[in-house]
């Protein structure tokens, strides 16, 4: 599987500890973790004093000799006076005695002293602190650096150990903001990425990602080391064995303490693992190749998928998603547009090809699959529900369908990333399943309205819980009998229509959906292509429940939404001549073509034909002066995702372009009307926002000169906003800097490379993300 393209930025600058405001730092426990912290601060230019307390005087002497500490003692009382920040870096089960000594001498420390720790489990340490101090001190910030080595002792200290590694802090609701800020600053000064999560969730996550692997490595090596053939086993062990068992060389005492302190979470993780091993054992015993392939393929691609996911986000956990908003684009003014290109496959068709292929009888072969984050999230979700899927390999995916009722309950929430399409369509599919499920997504998706699908699904008999305001996550209670309904949608939304039609396959009787304006009809076309009859007359589509799907080949057309950025790029750039190949021109998606033609764009369609029921064509675009228009209301639903790019076309037209009837744009990944208006204002393009649209005064004077200035634009994490302003650089006078661009990979992997190939001057850069902390006196 090819990971989504991610621009490589220059290596981050060395951490700077010179501005860390602590006068005296005390590290209690001078092992690998504590010693590496001291070494990192010294290497970063920390100006304060670093002291250490360790029961081994030789370790303190070695630390002084290495130049990473300024002094130390075996007794805490001797080094605590005057300390402004105390870091507890002792084993978890040693924390009791250390905190007793700390509580006894804390009055000698600085008046504003802050305490933190580095323990691998948090609940046990929190409970110890509450018992010894009477309550959790407001100046105590529990933390855990996700870094380490099988080596131990201060001699193994590494000043780079924490660079680009995560440190998880688990503050309590009463933790002093100033204390939290100072601990954040400590780890920032070491080059770490600082995140937060609740104590209990931390212990559950680490039991699975750290504690269980160590437990298994210790167990495997111990088991093999006691066998008669142990010499040959270790003599001929290959790299995989060495890689997996390396961590069995870690400190046994430390890991005994961790397994003891986090016992319940470790045992729960071990139960889950043993269940998985039992399933794989049964498949091997029975020679069940499909079951083996499903497990192995799901594991292999989960590994790649989550690597890709975490390359786009700094950390994703069930309760909180920390977005990496440091990816930015720098777009130089000018450039050209020419050549022949093929943009990635249609996201809407890619989603549906996986969904319908998984529920079909037989094997579905897909080519042209979009390997973006949203589509990969859908693919991974079906793997987690027991569907064997091979690929993607260069856009090719093979889906071994399980039939309408063959899905299995996932082990946990289904994460769909940034994809509103996936969440809304999944809601319809999962409402008809026998098992409970939960749908969740990234921080952006959790702000988007899901009541528009939950409410009509409830009318069908589904039982669905949402967060406040009808927002994700969606908790769907399985086993509910569904009945067909006749539903008139209050808004034009292909996602809502598709959700109800998919639920209708599991409902008794007929499900009819009436839409107030035409929307994309991929679901109806593809259901018919899979042999499930869907009827349509006028503004209403309907089907009967109880049918089945038959597998077949799918050739995914290039996504017209992705093509739009290049259509607009060529339309606004003097001298441009660009051809986009194999673009889907579904009648419900060609609003962008119709609107650009009304504005005077020179667009020519050729080689028109159908692929799997979807019409496709090559589109040639040559520069022609554009004029402002009143966008016809009937074209709005046919171009709803393309308006960010069309706003750039409007900015480069003569006269005013007016958009109305586009309220839907306000509930996309961002409020796209306001986000585009703000960005255009930064560039100097006059615009007026109204509730359901915008007026944009085009800046083109007909001279061919640049039409507006440059500046810094916030994309708000919305991929389409980011790509639209990248295109704007073609007619700008100055550089445009676009912040928060990481999510471009969700819909258009390789956008920057393709843009450069046709002539845009755009480059990725890593922004300097900093944490702003508010210092205040504790109440």
The catalytic residue positions are 641
Torsion of CA 324, 330, 331, 332, to 10 degrees: 180
Q: How far apart are CA 203 and CA 262, in angstroms?
A: 7
Distance between first and last Cα of the chain: 54
Q: How far apart are CA 363 and CA 367, in angstroms?
A: 13
Q: How far apart are CA 593 and CA 564, in angstroms?
A: 9
Residue (of 524, 596, 532, 597) closest to 565 by Cα position:
596
Residue (of 208, 228, 122) closest to 167 by Cα position:
122
Q: How far apart are CA 181 and CA 188, in angstroms?
A: 10
Q: From the CB of residue 779, how many other CB atoms can be counted at a distance below 10 Å?
A: 6
Q: From the CB of residue 225, how many other CB atoms can be counted at a distance below 10 Å?
A: 11
Residue (of 167, 147, 164) closest to 15 by Cα position:
164
Q: Are 175 and 140 in contact (CB under 8 A)?
A: yes
**Is 226 known to sit in a ligand binding site?**
no
Q: Are 266 and 211 in contact (CB under 8 A)?
A: yes
CA angle 501, 504, 506 (to 5 degrees): 135
488-503 burial code (b ≥16 CB/10 A, e <16): ebeebbbbbbbbbbbb
**Is 493 known to sit in a ligand binding site?**
yes
| 242 φ/ψ angles, rounded to the nearest 5 degrees | -65, -40
For residue 340 the two structure tokens come to 């022949």
**Is 495 known to sit in a ligand binding site?**
yes
**Is 641 known to sit in a ligand binding site?**
yes
Half-sphere exposure of 519 (CA within 13 A, CB side): 21
Q: How far apart are CA 771 and CA 640, in angstroms?
A: 36
Q: Extract the runs of DSSP E, i.e. beta strands, from 550-653.
A: 554-555, 577-584, 602-611, 614-622
**Is 720 known to sit in a ligand binding site?**
yes
**Is 622 known to sit in a ligand binding site?**
no
Count the residues in the chain: 779
Distances (CA, A) of 609 to 9, 215, 631: 41, 58, 28
Q: How far apart are CA 596 and CA 600, in angstroms?
A: 6
Q: How far apart are CA 620 and CA 577, in angstroms?
A: 7
**Is 396 known to sit in a ligand binding site?**
no
Q: Alpha helix (H) ranges present in 44-176?
A: 57-66, 76-79, 95-105, 123-133
Q: How far apart are CA 366 and CA 373, in angstroms?
A: 17
**Is 188 known to sit in a ligand binding site?**
no
Q: Tell me: cis bond preceding 417? Omega within 30 of 0 counts.
A: no
Q: How far apart are CA 582 and CA 560, in angstroms?
A: 10
**Is 447 known to sit in a ligand binding site?**
no
Distances (CA, A) of 257 to 93, 95, 132, 252: 6, 11, 19, 9
**Is 672 known to sit in a ligand binding site?**
yes
**Is 348 known to sit in a ligand binding site?**
yes
Extract the annotated binding site for 3-phosphoshikimate: 347-348, 352, 493, 495, 641, 668
Which residues define the annotated binding site? Answer: 347-348, 352, 420, 448, 493, 495, 641, 668, 672, 720
Binding-site members for phosphoenolpyruvate are 347, 420, 448, 495, 672, 720
């Amino acid at each position: 599987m090819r990971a989504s393209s991610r621009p490589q930025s220059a290596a981050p600058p060395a951490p700077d500890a010179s501005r860390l405001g602590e006068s005296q730092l005390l590290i209690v426990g001078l092992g690998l973790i504590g010693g590496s912290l001291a070494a990192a601060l010294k290497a970063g230019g920390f100006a304060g004093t670093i002291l250490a307390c360790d029961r081994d005087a030789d370790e303190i002497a070695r630390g002084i000799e290495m130049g990473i500490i300024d002094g130390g003692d075996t007794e805490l009382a001797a080094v605590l006076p005057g300390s402004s920040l105390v870091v507890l870096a002792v084993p978890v089960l040693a924390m009791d005695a250390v905190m007793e000594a700390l509580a006894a001498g804390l009055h000698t420390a600085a008046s504003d002293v802050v305490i933190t720790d580095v323990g691998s489990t948090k609940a046990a340490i929190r409970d110890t602190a509450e018992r010894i101090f009477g309550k959790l001190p407001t100046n105590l910030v529990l933390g855990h650096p996700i870094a380490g080595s099988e080596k131990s002792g201060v001699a193994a200290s590494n000043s780079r150990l924490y660079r680009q590694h995560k440190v998880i802090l688990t503050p309590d609701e009463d933790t002093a903001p100033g204390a939290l800020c100072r601990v954040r600053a400590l780890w920032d000064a070491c080059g770490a990425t600082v995140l937060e999560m609740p104590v209990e969730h931390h212990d559950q996550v680490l039991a699975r990602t750290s504690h269980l692997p160590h437990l298994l490595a210790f167990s495997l090596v111990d088991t093999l080391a006691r066998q008669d053939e142990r010499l040959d086993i270790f003599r001929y062990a290959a790299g995989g064995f060495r890689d997996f068992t390396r961590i069995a060389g870690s400190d046994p005492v430390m890991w005994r303490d961790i397994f003891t302190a986090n016992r319940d979470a470790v045992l729960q993780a071990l139960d889950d693992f043993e269940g998985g091993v039992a399933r794989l054992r049964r498949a091997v015993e029975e020679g069940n190749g499909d079951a083996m392939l499903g497990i192995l393929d799901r594991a292999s691609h989960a590994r790649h998928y989550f690597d890709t996911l975490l390359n786009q986000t700094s950390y994703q956990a069930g309760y909180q998603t920390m977005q990496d908003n440091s990816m930015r684009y720098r777009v130089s003014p000018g450039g050209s547009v020419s050549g022949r290109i093929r943009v990635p496959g249609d996201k809407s068709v890619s989603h549906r090809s996986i969904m319908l292929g998984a529920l079909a009888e037989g094997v579905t072969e897909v080519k042209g699959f979009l390997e973006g984050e949203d589509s990969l999230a859908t693919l991974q979700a079906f793997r987690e529900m027991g569907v064997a899927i091979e690929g993607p390999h260069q856009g090719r995916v093979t889906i071994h369908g399980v039939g309408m009722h063959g899905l299995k309950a996932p082990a946990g929430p289904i994460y769909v990333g940034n994809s509103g399409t996936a969440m809304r369509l999944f809601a319809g599919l999962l409402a008809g399943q026998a098992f409970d499920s939960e749908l969740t997504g990234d921080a952006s998706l959790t702000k988007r309205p899901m009541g528009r699908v939950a409410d009509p699904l409830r009318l069908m008999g589904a039982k669905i819980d949402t967060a406040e305001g009808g927002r994700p996550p969606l908790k769907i209670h399985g086993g509910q009998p569904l009945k067909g309904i006749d539903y008139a949608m209050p808004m034009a939304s292909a996602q809502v229509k598709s959700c109800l039609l998919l639920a209708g396959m599991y409902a008794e009787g007929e499900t009819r959906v009436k839409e107030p304006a035409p929307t994309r009809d991929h679901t109806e076309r593809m259901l018919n292509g899979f042999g499930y009859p869907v009827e349509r007359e006028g503004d209403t589509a309907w089907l009967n429940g109880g049918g089945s799907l038959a597998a077949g080949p799918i050739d995914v057309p290039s996504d017209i939404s992705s093509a739009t950025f290049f259509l607009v790029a060529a339309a606004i750039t003097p001298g441009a001549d660009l051809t986009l190949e194999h673009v889907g021109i579904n009648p419900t998606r060609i609003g962008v073509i119709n609107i650009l033609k009304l504005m005077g764009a020179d667009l020519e369609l050729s080689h028109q034909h159908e692929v799997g029921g979807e019409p496709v064509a090559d589109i040639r675009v040559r520069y022609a002066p554009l004029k402002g228009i009143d966008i016809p209301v009937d074209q709005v639903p046919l171009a709803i995702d393309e308006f960010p790019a069309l706003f750039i076309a409007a900015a480069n037209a003569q006269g005013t372009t007016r958009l109305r009837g586009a309220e839907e744009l306000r509930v996309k990944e961002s409020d796209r009307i306001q986000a585009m208006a703000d960005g255009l204002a930064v560039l100097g393009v006059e615009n007026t926002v109204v509730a359901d649209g915008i007026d944009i005064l085009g800046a083109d004077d007909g001279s061919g000169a640049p039409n507006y200035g440059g500046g810094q634009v916030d994309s708000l994490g919305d991929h389409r906003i980011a790509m639209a302003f990248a295109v704007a650089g073609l007619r700008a006078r100055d550089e445009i800097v676009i912040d928060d661009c990481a999510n471009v990979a969700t819909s258009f992997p390789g956008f920057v490379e393709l843009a450069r190939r046709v002539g845009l001057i755009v480059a990725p850069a890593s922004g300097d993300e900093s944490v702003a902390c508010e210092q205040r006196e504790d109440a």
